[in-house]
């Protein structure tokens, strides 16, 4: 497999510290609000990457943090804690907010077929780890105490800016909003490891530390959680491109200063989801959620399909028209798969293996998911029997996770359940195989034909109360349960 490495700014062959095993870390959500679909694009692509690695034969340990403390409104160590901001907005405690939006995040992930990581760790669980790391950095002369807070000293680094190939617009997200200068910092790029004092006094969560009662900075949590669950050598670190600076830059600085050796080999960044007004952002108050897509009649997996048709290193433009087109293509794909006969012949294992190798090669070229989707259509056109083509699609969907066979089987079953009943005078009733409902729909048709519209409306209302929707056709009527 070849992946673009944000740290070296080139596509490289993927290798790991321990052959055959991947230590993978994913920056998780700050759970002060719902995840918007731009956030979820990153998690979809990281999910595909993890599943691809497993499909390719790797043993994967994937770790994700849940940020429930320490993430300030500005990534430059100023402003209000986002968790406290959410608690004030909804008149709840910080932990109530954290629990609600953590659950909401994983409900969205389930709708999108995003696998839950092997380890999910809230930041508040690892205070002892942060204190140990910060203490060691002070002992090594890599951090200092000033104004009651503990800062990392970036002047001790040979190189601070790691991801300097990205646009300023991408990298400066957290530091361009009228940030006030922190006079405690020795250098402008120094960052807080532990707060005991800040511009606000009402921080909800605080812990004892050698430097006074306080709380950890945002950046230290990912280092602490990764070292706890991934060990000293991390193979693959994932996140959205807006985390590259300063968050991931600061993670590298503090982790390698603490460890005394290189920390993470490979950095994987997913680019933005843009709307007509620019990058989607909670701060703009105009973000879209999975629940909103559902309310508008979209299957969440249509959004996953939409994301897979684009490359993760390209900005993806969202519009309702684009999503509608993606949903139409996804539904058409399901219908084509449903038309395959599972009983058509025996599975040809050699054909299945051949397509698996094609998939590994094509998607393995910098996680080219659009080629993976194209291969699905190639399988549908392949000169193989139905059983073999379905077996291939099932294999590829272990990575793409579009529920292809499940949805196709449900559609096939629904169509098989539809039946027709004919009246003596040639009326055809199409429905779902319930003779009692067929009879009522037929009686309504006769009432309409006799211009007894009052009786026809009565029967229609009775059917509606039963959850049955009737549509008149040229030959008679069709009904379905709603």
Domain-ending residue, one of 240, 262, 284: 284
**Which CATH number characterizes residue 380's domain?**
1.20.120.1910
pLDDT in tens, 310-320: 999 999 999 99
Please give the pLDDT value at position 280: 67
Please give the pLDDT value at position 442: 87
* Domain assignment of residue 389, given as a range: 292-415
Please give the pLDDT value at position 479: 85
> Does one domain contain both 311 and 276?
no
> Does one domain contain both 270 and 296?
no
Please give the pLDDT value at position 171: 38
pLDDT in tens, 251-281: 999 999 999 999 999 999 999 998 876 666 6
> Measured at the alpha carbon of residue 50, what is the angle toward residues 48 and 55, in degrees to the nearest 5?
90
Please count the residues of the chain: 482
Q: Which residues pair with 18 in a beta bridge?
A: 21
**Which CATH number characterizes residue 27's domain?**
3.40.50.620
Please give the pLDDT value at position 82: 85
Integer Cα distance of 268 and 53 in angstroms: 14
Q: Are 39 and 239 in contact (CB under 8 A)?
A: no
Integer Cα distance of 468 and 364 in angstroms: 48
> Does one domain contain both 404 and 428?
no
Distance of CA 400 to the CA centre of its chain: 13
Please give the pLDDT value at position 436: 84
In this prediction the pTM is 0.85
> Does one domain contain both 223 and 279?
yes
> Does one domain contain both 339 and 460?
no
User: Which positions of the chain have pLDDT values less than 50?
Assistant: 166-179
Which residues have C-beta within 8 Å of that of residue 457, sequence separation ≥ 6? none
Number of domains composing the chain: 3
> Does one domain contain both 159 and 263?
yes
- The DSSP string of 360-388 is HHHHTBTT-HHHHHHHHHHHHTSSS-HHH
Domain-ending residue, one of 249, 284, 319: 284
> Does one domain contain both 130 and 191?
yes
Please give the pLDDT value at position 285: 55
> Does one domain contain both 94 and 217?
yes
> Does one domain contain both 422 and 395?
no
> Does one domain contain both 279 and 377?
no
CA 474, 479, 480, 482 dihedral sign is positive
* Closest C-alpha to 335, from 391, 264, 410, 276: 410
> Alpha helices of 197-347 — where are they, by DSSP H?
218-230, 249-259, 290-295, 300-308, 320-338
Q: Are 77 and 188 in contact (CB under 8 A)?
A: no
């Amino acid at each position: 497999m070849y992946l673009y490495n944000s740290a070296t700014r080139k596509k490289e062959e993927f290798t790991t510290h321990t052959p055959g095993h991947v230590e993978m870390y994913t920056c998780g959500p700050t759970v002060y609000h719902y995840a918007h679909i731009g956030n979820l694009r990153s998690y979809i692509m990281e999910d595909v990457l993890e599943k691809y690695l497993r499909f390719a034969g790797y043993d994967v340990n994937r770790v994700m943090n849940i940020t429930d403390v320490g993430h300030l409104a500005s990534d430059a160590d100023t402003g209000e804690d986002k968790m406290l901001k959410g608690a004030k907005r909804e008149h709840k405690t910080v932990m109530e907010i954290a629990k609600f939006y953590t659950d909401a995040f994983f409900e969205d992930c389930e709708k999108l077929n995003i696998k839950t990581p092997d380890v999910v760790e809230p930041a508040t669980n690892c205070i002892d780890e942060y204190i140990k790391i910060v203490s060691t950095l002070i002992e090594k002369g890599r951090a200092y105490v000033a104004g009651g807070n503990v800062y990392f000293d970036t002047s001790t680094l040979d190189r601070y800016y790691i991801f300097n190939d990205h646009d300023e617009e991408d990298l400066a997200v957290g530091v361009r909003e009228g940030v006030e200068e922190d006079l405690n910092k020795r250098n402008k790029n120094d960052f807080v490891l532990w707060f005991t004092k800040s511009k606000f006094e009402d921080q909800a969560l605080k812990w004892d530390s050698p430097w006074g009662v306080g709380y950890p900075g945002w950046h230290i949590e990912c280092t602490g959680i990764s070292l706890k669950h991934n060990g000293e050598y991390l193979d693959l670190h994932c996140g959205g491109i807006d985390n590259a600076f300063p968050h991931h830059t600061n993670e590298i600085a503090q982790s390698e200063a603490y460890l005394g050796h290189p920390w993470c080999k490979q950095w994987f960044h997913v680019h933005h989801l843009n709307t007509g007004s620019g990058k989607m952002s909670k701060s703009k108050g105009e973000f879209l959620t999975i629940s909103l897509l559902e309310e508008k009649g979209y299957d969440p997996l249509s959004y996953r399909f939409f994301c897979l048709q684009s490359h993760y290193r390209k900005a993806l433009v969202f519009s309702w028209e684009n999503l509608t087109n993606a949903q139409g293509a996804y539904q058409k794909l399901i219908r084509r798969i449903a038309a395959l006969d599972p009983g058509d012949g025996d599975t040809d294992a050699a054909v299945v293996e051949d397509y698996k190798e094609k998939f590994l090669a094509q998607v393995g070229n910098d996680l080219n998911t659009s080629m993976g989707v194209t291969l699905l259509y190639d399988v549908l056109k392949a000169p193989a029997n139905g059983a073999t083509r379905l077996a291939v699609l099932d294999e590829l969907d272990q990575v793409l996770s579009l529920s292809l066979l499940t949805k196709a089987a449900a559609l096939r079953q629904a169509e098989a359940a539809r039946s027709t009943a004919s009246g003596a005078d040639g009326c055809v009733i199409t429905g779902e195989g319930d003779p009692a409902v067929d009879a009522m729909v037929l009686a309504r048709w006769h009432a309409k034909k006799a211009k007894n519209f009052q009786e026809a409306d009565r029967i229609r209302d009775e059917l509606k109360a039963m959850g049955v929707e009737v549509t008149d056709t040229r030959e008679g009527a069709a009904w379905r349960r709603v």
